[in-house]
Amino acid sequence: MRQHPLAAWCCVAVCLASLIGCGKANPRKEVTGMITLKGEPLDQGVIEFHPLGEGTKELPATMEGAVIAKGEYKVPVEQGLVPGKYKVIITSGDGINPSNPDGMPEPSGNFVSKDRIPPAFNSESKVEVEVTSSGPNRFNFDVP
């Protein structure tokens, strides 16, 4: 008795094919953008997106954010934002932090540095954006 080789290879092919294509589309959205302070790209800081809506039961809204570097920020798609409205909070210390000469973590004076971003963009922020499922979700902010 002799099997047809083609049939055997078909079996193998079916087995292999069954391993492919089991992904689900990510409903979260990547969010990127450029932030300028007085016209210049903001060298460092933090941006946060606080949910204003509830999201859905399957996909509740969550707070995400990103580090700002050279003006650019990016919330990666894996931890992206659920479509909906968000309050934006931007903060950037003036970067003046005392150094720690003894090398071990202990406070050496007041670490809280001055915020270069006005309250209208953080503690009293009314800046809103809407993340959409169609995208592109690129939000630029010009901080005066």
Partner 1 sequence: MGTKRRAFTLVELLVVIAIIGVLVALLLPAVQAAREAARRMQCQNNLKQLGLAMHNYTSSFKESLPGGVGRYGCCWGTWQMSILPFIEAQNLADIYVNLGGADWGPRYGTAINRPVVSSRLPTLSCPSDIKNAPIGATATLLPVTSHNYGVNYGNTSFFQTPLNGIPFLGAPFRAYTQSTSDDGPIGAAAALTFPRVYGQHVTLAEIVDGTSNTLMAAEVLQGRGTDLRGFSWWGGASGFVTYLAPNSSAPDVITGGYCTSLTSPRMPCVTATTATRPRMMGARSVHAAGGVNVAFCDGHVRFLMNGIDYKVWNYLGTSQGSEAVNPDE
User: Is the Cβ of residue 2 or residue 24 nearer to partner 1 in the bound state?
Assistant: 2
26 binds partner 1 (CB under 8 A): no
Q: Report the relative pairing of strands 44-51 and 64-69 from DSSP bridges.
A: antiparallel
Which residue from 30, 39, 28 is spatially nearest to 62, judged by alpha carbons? 28
Among 26, 41, 70, 111, binds partner 1 (CB under 8 A): 111
Q: According to the binding rule CB under 8 A, does residue 3 interact with partner 1? A: yes
Cis peptide, bond prior to residue 60, ω within 30 of zero: no
Q: Which is nearer to partner 1, 59 or 130 (CB)?
A: 59
- Residue 22 in the binding site for partner 1 (CB under 8 A): no
Give the x/- contact pattern for partner 1 in 55-94, rule: CB under 8 A. Answer: x-x-xxxxxxxxx-------xx-xx-------x-x-xxxx
The residue within the footprint of partner 1, chosen from 26, 97, 132, 133 (CB under 8 A), is: 97
Reading the block at residue 77, the tokens are 């798609």
Instruction: State the Cα–Cα distance between residues 43 and 39, nearest whole angstrom.
Output: 12
